[in-house]
């Protein structure tokens, strides 16, 4: 088992390094941060040279990359090109914002998909099942920015009950989390339904039922517990996609998270901020995948050999 | 199994309902887009600043109204499907071809090809996709072909993994082993014996990804990384129309509905295909 | 409207369910909230060029001079000035008994420190130094007098001293706390002092009652960073911000029809044109360039796309700009004549015209499509290529990779035609990839050495006329600066250049 974990860890390190290399290299292919710092107005080549010098952009790529890696190991991500804010400060504010939103979205989605999935499974083939499945597909058929804008129009402009943007009180989580959750729910609901159906057809549930336990108790105590594992796994593996979706939702809701940070960093060619945000996000995704793998390795020894 | 008792009348009806509605939505969209050249010879580009923001259902010349530049919304919605569908279909076709080939080779021969594929897949999984898309489009510049190219690069791994998995399950099965024993070449085994057996899951994934990529294209346009605004596209109309949501809802609501119906149709088809081709639910997405 | 009624009906249930959460729409009394698009990341004057920096920081700092909302220069930390030694030396008398927010006194040493820093090593790392290179050094005469020794003539120096890099900073504070601390905790002499900064979210300022100009009337000014225009307007409509600065013209009617909001539209510094490729393509030919100008109905575009929030221009400068010539008129719109000129120049039907532009500018996306519509009417084949700003600014324009035309949009805050003209028309400049003309170069160089206002204005006007004769660009419009403002805001002097100063403003 230790060997398996070690192997996985080494793979994870390799993946994160590869990600940092790809990102650092790609972002330098076009555009010049110096001109973004200068604002593209009254500039001479000499000004640009001065700025490049100050930002350390005159060094060869491998030197810049290695110094980024070096910083990574001591936890120093450097300073933003735009104004010199320490990148670690920016990330320490943005990461919790994104993780909180991700968490809230998952919770909302679970709160929606579990009862719906269970209800659909119990009514398999009858109209509530069909209706739930179709509605979940409808939820999957909107571009998420569109859904977000519509929610703002409804709840902030027409009804005036929710703040249209920002991360302030708990009420500011409702719309962003709902936008994400509607998209997640379509697939999560399906998973719950499928695994519920499987569990329901198993022996011990039949036994439990035949012992005269009430339906609801059977459902929630036995069946649901067993269908939780595939759901959690799936969510773990979907974390990367979840983060991707959050980038757009953050933009519409002006959410001060990693997506906003990275998006601005791309348009400003703010290398330190972009490298750091993507590395941190990749670390999270890899870590969660690793946890899922290890958990599976613990449960099912056959996987370790693959 | 419980599946037998559930094949009741409403269920069968529902299955065909999914198929019928899915085909109807997707089919009618595809057809009108296909014939948009005949329906709207101007390609939805004729401008009339005097007739800007005509509300829908008030003018027979502009049934769905006009946009801020006085262009016909109906024409642009129909013509605009071209970009979305082209991006959706071509990107998926490209990814399928590349992914399937790599997956077949990696699964059948294993060795270095497989190791490379798996590590590549790990890296791809760890990259937040949208951010990478934004970065690459910012760097490479925008354009339909670049969006398609990027989607292929980003998605072939899904197919490769899927195919590899199926091949691994198949390669030691009796009928393959016996084919090999009687001297059938590797290439023939792969294409006549293995490939047909992995088509089902691929087709399901394809349908769902076409839907996904149509949405993705519109998101990228929303983020300002779209194509020439003269060429109508659903994503572009949605993105540009959001400014007018409160004063001229029709500019962005109709393209929004067009996207929704198309994607819904594809999702319904994908759902139907899944039950039809893969009743065990391996590809539950 | 029907659509919103449907929405209302749909939302009724939700409203009931969520009503306990009722967002606190109303703002605290005495607090004004402004939304700007971008967080500059640092509040140090030498670190940034962003207008959004100035929208907030103009309340924290003072310059030696100041420019009010009427765009007129007036004394600020300097009470008077005189030109000595044939304009090579400018002597400033400083205001007395002025204190920085941290209690440090303002004096000649502070002025010298500010400019030594700006012109020295520290300033070289930022974008502001290059605006002030005409200054050689600053000398302290006595505690309340400084001399600026000039390296070369700079006709707009006094304006430049009213903003950005020339804002006076506290020497002791910066020396003690260091530059990094100052970036995040700015101290100046302005009417509001720094209270809190949360990167990418907001900056909060509090009144500084000891300000030399009298105590400001507001308790707090909050600046929020919101980069989506729709989001700014939604925040404005729900009463959570008082002033929105990012309003594409398409959203202007939305603001206008909201009962609690008003739309302010004032002539601003931003001018927009389509520059033409004089080296390649059909635009190589002077008559073709003129035909393109005449073929595009700029007045119609201003009316229909800008909804009237703009003015036609004849040269690349605003009305307010020094060098503006009211007698210079743009070529009139004349489709028939334009077609005829194209024919004479033997331009084939369907000849391509590619326009490169900034893809993230919502208003211009519409403008350029309207312009393309007119080019189609001329029988040409326009193609529009949106770019990400860093790519357009760093590669496409400077390296001469544009199509027949490209998008140029600038708003020099000093309102001096030189600001635009030299960089756009002098050969070898970054923003002039194609054109090289000895006459024009000579004119551009000449005006930079003239101090005499009248004479310099004449040369600048000559430049504008020359550029118009050569049809180097399609001058489109001078677009208004527009603000969405909550009606509870009173005595808000809306500045054309977005450099707010909220001393007299109050909120109900």
C102-144 pLDDT per residue, tens: 999 999 999 999 999 999 988 888 888 888 988 999 999 999 9
Query: Chain C partners of B242 at a C-beta cutoff of 8 Å?
Result: 230
Strands C506-507 and C489-490: antiparallel
In the three-class reduction of DSSP (H, G, I as helix; E, B as strand; rest coil), residue C116 is classed as: helix
**Choice among A11-15, B156-160, B273-277, C369-373 with the minimum mean pLDDT:** B273-277
Instruction: Check CB contact under 8 Å for A37 and C127.
Output: yes
Residue A215: the pLDDT is: 66
pLDDT in tens, C274-305: 999 999 889 999 999 999 999 999 999 999 99
**Cβ neighbours around C295 below 10 Å, total:** 25
Q: Could you tell me if A252 lies within 8 Å of chain C, comparing CB atoms?
A: yes
Rounded to a whole number, what is the distance in Å from the CA of B139 to chain A's nearest CA?
A: 5
In the three-class reduction of DSSP (H, G, I as helix; E, B as strand; rest coil), residue C217 is classed as: coil
Direct distance between the N- and C-terminal alpha carbons of chain B, in angstroms, rounded to an integer: 23
Nearest to C388 among B45, B68, B138 (CB): B138
Residue B10: the pLDDT is: 55
Nearest to C362 among B243, B247, B253 (CB): B243
User: Could you tell me if B150 and B135 are in contact, meaning their C-beta atoms sit under 8 angstroms apart?
Assistant: no
Mutate to test the interface with B, among C367, C376, C388 (most CBs of B within 10 A): C388
Instruction: Check CB contact under 8 Å for C254 and B246.
Output: yes
Is pLDDT at C15 greater than 50 in this prediction?
no
CA distance C266 to C230: 21
The residue among C15 and C409 whose pLDDT is bigger is C409
Nearest to C385 among B69, B138, B228 (CB): B228
Is pLDDT at C5 greater than 60 in this prediction?
no
The residue segments making up the domain with residue A264 are: 87-305
CA distance C264 to A288: 51
CA distance A305 to C399: 55
CA distance A201 to B171: 32
Instruction: Check CB contact under 8 Å for C130 and A43.
Output: yes
Query: Chain A partners of B114 at a C-beta cutoff of 8 Å?
Result: none
Q: Closest by alpha carbon to C234, among C220, C246, C221, C223?
A: C246
Mutate to test the interface with C, among A84, A150, A151, A277 (most CBs of C within 10 A): A84
Rounded to a whole number, what is the distance in Å from the CA of C28 to chain A's nearest CA?
A: 15
Nearest to C394 among A31, A155, A157 (CB): A31
What value does the mean pLDDT take over residues A147-158? 89
Rounded to a whole number, what is the distance in Å from the CA of B73 to chain C's nearest CA?
A: 15
CA distance C31 to C275: 44
Residues of chain B under the 70 pLDDT cut: 1-15, 278-285
Q: Closest by alpha carbon to C128, among A216, A82, B26, A38?
A: A38
Give the highest mean pLDDT range of A8-22, A150-164, C3-17, C279-293: C279-293
Instruction: Check CB contact under 8 Å for A125 and B6.
Output: yes
Give bridge partners of residue C265 from the DSSP assignment.
C482
Chain B residue with CA closest to C258: the answer is: B246
pTM of the model: 0.88
Mutate to test the interface with A, among B13, B17, B131 (most CBs of A within 10 A): B131
Strands C65-67 and C261-276: unpaired
What value does the mean pLDDT take over residues A105-130? 85
Query: Chain B partners of A302 at a C-beta cutoff of 8 Å?
Result: none
pLDDT > 70: percent of chain A: 83
- The pLDDT-based confidence of C184 (bands split at 50, 70, 90) is very high
Rounded to a whole number, what is the distance in Å from the CA of A49 to chain C's nearest CA?
A: 10
Give bridge partners of residue C506 from the DSSP assignment.
C490
**HEC states along A24-48?**
HHHHCCCCCHHHHHHCCCCCCHHHH
Query: Chain B partners of C370 at a C-beta cutoff of 8 Å?
Result: 47, 49, 69
- Return residues 201-230 of B near A (CB < 8 Å): 211, 215, 218-219, 222-223
What value does the mean pLDDT take over residues A228-255? 77
User: Could you tell me if C180 and C158 are in contact, meaning their C-beta atoms sit under 8 angstroms apart?
Assistant: no
Packing angle between helix B234-241 and helix B250-277, nearest 10 degrees?
A: 140
- The pLDDT-based confidence of C6 (bands split at 50, 70, 90) is very low
**pLDDT mean across residues, chain C:** 89
Residue C44: the pLDDT is: 94
- Return residues 106-125 of A near B (CB < 8 Å): 124-125
| Any domain includes A37 | no
Query: Chain B partners of C368 at a C-beta cutoff of 8 Å?
Result: 229
**Cβ neighbours around A168 below 10 Å, total:** 13
- Return residues 96-155 of B near A (CB < 8 Å): 119, 122-123, 125-132, 134-136, 138-140
Going by C-beta distance under 8 Å and a sequence separation of 6 or more, which residues neighbour residue B58?
B65
Instruction: Check CB contact under 8 Å for A259 and B222.
Output: no
Q: Which helix (H) or strand (E) holds C211?
A: none
Chain C residue with CA closest to A92: the answer is: C199
| Any domain includes A79 | no
Instruction: Check CB contact under 8 Å for A15 and B285.
Output: no
Is pLDDT at C24 greater than 90 in this prediction?
no
pLDDT in tens, C185-239: 999 999 999 999 999 899 999 999 999 999 999 999 999 999 888 899 999 999 9
- Return residues 1-40 of A near B (CB < 8 Å): 11, 14-16, 18-19, 22-23, 26-27, 29-31
**Choice among A37-41, A168-172, C420-424 with the minimum mean pLDDT:** A37-41
Give bridge partners of residue C311 from the DSSP assignment.
C478
Instruction: Check CB contact under 8 Å for C3 and B243.
Output: no
Residue C191: the pLDDT is: 96
| Any domain includes A197 | yes
User: Could you tell me if C146 and C111 are in contact, meaning their C-beta atoms sit under 8 angstroms apart?
Assistant: yes
CA distance C138 to C150: 9
CA distance B49 to C396: 31
Q: Tell me which chains share at least 3 CB pairs under 8 Å with chain A.
A: B, C
**Token digits of residue A82:** 């735009």
Spell out a b/e string for C94-115, using b for 16 or more CB atoms within 10 Å of the CB, else e: bbeebebbeebebbbebbbbbb
Query: Chain A partners of B127 at a C-beta cutoff of 8 Å?
Result: 19, 22, 240, 278, 282
Interface residues of C toward B, Cβ cutoff 8 Å, are: 1, 3-4, 229-230, 248, 250-251, 253-254, 257, 300-301, 303-305, 359-360, 362, 365-366, 368-370, 372-373, 376, 382-388, 390-391
Query: Chain C partners of A151 at a C-beta cutoff of 8 Å?
Result: none
User: Could you tell me if B257 and B4 are in contact, meaning their C-beta atoms sit under 8 angstroms apart?
Assistant: no
Residue C145: the pLDDT is: 96
Q: Closest by alpha carbon to C276, among C295, C289, C290?
A: C289
What value does the mean pLDDT take over residues A26-49? 77
- Return residues 83-142 of A near C (CB < 8 Å): 83-86, 89-90, 93-94
* CB–CB contacts below 8 A, A to B: 149
Q: Closest by alpha carbon to B117, among B132, B102, B97?
A: B102
CA distance B166 to B190: 12
| Any domain includes A160 | yes
**Token digits of residue A10:** 């080494």
pLDDT in tens, A164-184: 888 888 889 999 999 988 888
In the three-class reduction of DSSP (H, G, I as helix; E, B as strand; rest coil), residue C207 is classed as: strand
| Any domain includes A196 | yes
Chain A residue with CA closest to C391: the answer is: A31
pLDDT in tens, C82-113: 999 888 899 999 999 999 999 999 999 999 99
Question: Number of helices (H) and strands (E), helices first, in chain A?
Answer: 14, 0
Residue C108: the pLDDT is: 96
**Choice among A51-55, C307-311, C483-487 with the minimum mean pLDDT:** A51-55
**pLDDT mean across residues, chain A:** 82
Rounded to a whole number, what is the distance in Å from the CA of B12 to chain A's nearest CA?
A: 9
Strands C352-358 and C405-410: parallel
Instruction: Check CB contact under 8 Å for A248 and B223.
Output: yes
SS3 content of chain C, % helix, strand, coil (to 5): 35, 25, 40
Total number of domains in chain A = 1
Query: Chain B partners of C390 at a C-beta cutoff of 8 Å?
Result: 138
Phi-psi region of C272 (alpha: psi -120 to 50; beta: other; left: phi over 0): beta
| Any domain includes A200 | yes
CA distance B5 to A215: 20
Residue C9: the pLDDT is: 44
| Any domain includes A33 | no
In the three-class reduction of DSSP (H, G, I as helix; E, B as strand; rest coil), residue C48 is classed as: coil
Rounded to a whole number, what is the distance in Å from the CA of B249 to chain A's nearest CA?
A: 11
Q: Could you tell me if B241 lies within 8 Å of chain C, comparing CB atoms?
A: no
Using the structure block, give the residue that is written with the tokens 């400077």: C398
CA distance C170 to B269: 68
> A230 to each of A190, A224, C180, how far by Cα in Å?
11, 11, 49
- Return residues 140-159 of B near C (CB < 8 Å): 141-142
CA distance A210 to C336: 90
Q: What is the CATH number of the domain that holds A294?
A: 1.10.3720.10
Residue C468: the pLDDT is: 94
**HEC states along B209-235?**
HHHHHHHHHHHHHHCCCCCCCCCCCHH
Query: Chain A partners of C19 at a C-beta cutoff of 8 Å?
Result: 161
**Token digits of residue C198:** 């949360």
Q: Closest by alpha carbon to C238, among C254, C225, C223, C218?
A: C254
Instruction: Check CB contact under 8 Å for B219 and A145.
Output: yes
pLDDT > 90: percent of chain C: 66
Chain A residue with CA closest to C179: the answer is: A84
Nearest to A39 among C127, C198, C228 (CB): C127
| Any domain includes A136 | yes
pLDDT > 70: percent of chain C: 94
């Amino acid at each position: 088992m230790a060997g398996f974990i070690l192997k996985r860890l080494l793979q994870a390190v390799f993946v994160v390094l590869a990600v940092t290399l790809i990102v650092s290299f790609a972002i330098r292919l076009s555009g010049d941060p110096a001109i973004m710092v200068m604002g593209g107005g009254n500039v001479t080549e000499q000004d640009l040279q001065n700025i490049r010098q100050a930002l350390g952009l005159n060094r060869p790529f491998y030197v810049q990359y290695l110094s980024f890696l070096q910083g990574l190991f001591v936890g120093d991500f450097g300073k933003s090109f735009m104004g010199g804010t320490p990148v670690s400060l920016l990330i320490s504010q943005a990461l919790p914002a994104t993780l909180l939103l991700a968490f809230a979205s998952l919770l909302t989605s679970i709160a929606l998909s579990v009862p719906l999935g269970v209800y659909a499974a119990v009514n398999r083939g009858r109209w509530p099942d069909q209706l739930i499945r179709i509605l979940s597909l409808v939820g999957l058929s909107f571009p998420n920015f569109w859904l977000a804008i519509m929610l703002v129009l409804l709840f902030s402009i027409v009804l005036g009950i929710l703040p249209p943007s920002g991360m302030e009180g708990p009420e500011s989580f409702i719309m962003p989390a709902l936008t994400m959750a509607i998209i997640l729910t379509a697939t999560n609901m399906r998973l719950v339904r499928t695994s519920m159906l499987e569990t329901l057809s198993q022996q011990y549930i039949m036994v439990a039922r035949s012992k005269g336990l009430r339906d609801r108790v059977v459902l929630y105590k036995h069946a649901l517990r067993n269908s939780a594992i595939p759901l959690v796994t799936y969510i773990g593996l979907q974390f990367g996609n979840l983060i991707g979706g959050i980038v757009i939702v953050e933009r519409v809701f002006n959410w001060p998270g990693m997506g906003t940070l990275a998006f601005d960093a791309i348009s400003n060619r703010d290398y330190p901020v972009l490298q750091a945000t993507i590395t941190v996000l990749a670390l999270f995704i890899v870590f969660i995948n690793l946890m899922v793998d290890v958990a599976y390795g613990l449960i099912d020894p056959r996987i370790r050999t693959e | 199994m419980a599946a037998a008792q559930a094949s009741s009348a409403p269920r069968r009806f529902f299955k065909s309902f999914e198929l019928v509605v899915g085909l109807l939505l997707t089919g009618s969209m595809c057809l009108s887009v296909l014939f948009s050249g005949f329906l709207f010879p101007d390609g939805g580009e004729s401008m009339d600043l005097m007739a800007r923001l005509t509300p829908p259902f008030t003018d027979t010349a502009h049934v769905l109204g006009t946009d801020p530049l006085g262009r016909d919304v109906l024409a642009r919605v129909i013509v605009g499907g071209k970009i979305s569908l082209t991006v959706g279909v071509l990107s998926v076709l490209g990814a399928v071809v590349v992914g399937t080939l790599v997956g077949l080779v990696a699964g059948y021969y294993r060795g270095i090809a497989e190791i490379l594929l798996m590590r590549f897949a790990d890296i791809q999984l760890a990259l937040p996709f949208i951010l990478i898309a934004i970065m690459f489009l910012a760097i490479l510049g925008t354009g339909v072909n670049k969006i398609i190219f990027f989607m292929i690069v980003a998605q072939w791994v899904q197919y490769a993994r899927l195919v590899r998995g199926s091949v691994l399950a198949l390669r030691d099965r009796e009928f393959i082993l016996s084919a090999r024993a009687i001297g059938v070449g590797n290439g023939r085994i792969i294409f006549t014996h293995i490939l047909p057996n992995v088509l089902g899951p691929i087709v399901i994934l394809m349908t769902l990804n076409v839907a996904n990529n149509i949405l993705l294209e519109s998101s990228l346009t929303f983020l300002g990384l779209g194509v020439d605004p003269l060429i109508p596209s659903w994503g572009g109309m949605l993105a540009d129309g959001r400014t007018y949501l409160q004063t001229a809802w029709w500019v962005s609501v109709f393209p929004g509905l067009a996207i929704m119906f198309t994607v819904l149709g594809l999702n319904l088809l994908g759902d139907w295909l899944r039950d039809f081709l893969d009743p065990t639910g391996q590809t539950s997405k | 409207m029907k659509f919103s009624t449907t929405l209302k009906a749909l939302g009724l249930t939700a409203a009931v369910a969520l009503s306990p959460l009722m967002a606190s729409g109303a703002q605290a009394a005495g607090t004004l909230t402004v939304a700007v698009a971008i967080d500059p990341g640092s509040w140090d004057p030498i670190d940034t060029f962003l207008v959004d920096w100035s929208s907030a920081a103009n309340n924290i700092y003072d310059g030696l001079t100041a420019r009010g909302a009427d765009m007129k220069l007036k004394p600020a930390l300097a009470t008077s000035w005189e030109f000595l030694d044939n304009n090579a030396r400018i002597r400033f008398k400083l205001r007395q008994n002025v204190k920085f927010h941290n209690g440090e006194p303002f004096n000649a040493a502070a002025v010298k420190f500010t400019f030594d820093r700006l012109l020295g090593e520290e300033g070289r790392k930022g974008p502001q130094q290059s605006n002030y290179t005409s200054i050689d050094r600053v000398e302290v005469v006595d505690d309340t007098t400084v001399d600026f020794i000039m390296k070369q003539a700079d006709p707009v120096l006094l304006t430049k001293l009213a903003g950005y890099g020339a804002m006076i900073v506290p020497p002791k504070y910066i020396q003690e706390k260091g530059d990094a601390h100052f970036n995040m905790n700015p101290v100046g002499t302005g009417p509001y002092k720094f209270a809190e900064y949360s990167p990418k979210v907001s900056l909060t300022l509090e009144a500084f009652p000891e300000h030399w100009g009298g105590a400001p009337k507001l308790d707090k000014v909050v600046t929020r960073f919101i980069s989506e225009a729709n989001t700014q307007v939604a925040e404005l409509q729900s009463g959570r911000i008082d002033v929105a600065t990012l309003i594409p013209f398409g959203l202007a009617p939305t603001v206008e029809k909201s009962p609690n909001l008003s739309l302010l539209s004032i002539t601003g510094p931003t001018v927009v044109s389509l520059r033409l490729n004089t080296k390649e393509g059909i635009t190589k030919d002077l008559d073709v360039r003129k035909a393109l100008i005449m073929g595009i109905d700029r007045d119609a575009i201003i009316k229909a796309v800008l909804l009237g929030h703009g003015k036609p221009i004849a040269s690349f400068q605003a009305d307010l700009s020094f060098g503006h010539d009211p007698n210079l008129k743009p070529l009139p719109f004349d489709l028939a004549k334009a077609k005829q000129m194209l024919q004479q120049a033997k331009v084939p039907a369907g000849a391509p015209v590619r326009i490169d532009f900034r893809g993230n500018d919502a208003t211009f996306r519409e403008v350029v499509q309207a312009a393309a519509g007119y080019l189609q009417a001329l029988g040409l084949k326009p193609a529009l290529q949106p770019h990400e700003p860093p790519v357009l600014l760093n590669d496409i324009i400077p390296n001469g990779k544009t199509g027949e035309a490209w998008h140029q949009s600038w708003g020099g805050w000093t309102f001096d035609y030189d600001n635009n003209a030299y960089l756009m028309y002098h050969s070898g400049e970054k923003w002039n990839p194609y054109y090289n003309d000895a006459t024009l170069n000579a004119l551009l160089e000449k005006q930079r050495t003239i101090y005499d206002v009248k004479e310099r204005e004449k040369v600048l006007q000559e430049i504008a006329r020359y550029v118009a004769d050569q049809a180097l660009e399609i001058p489109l419009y001078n677009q208004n600066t527009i603000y969405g403002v909550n009606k509870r805001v009173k005595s808000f002097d809306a500045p054309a250049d977005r450099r707010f100063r909220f001393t007299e403003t109050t909120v109900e």
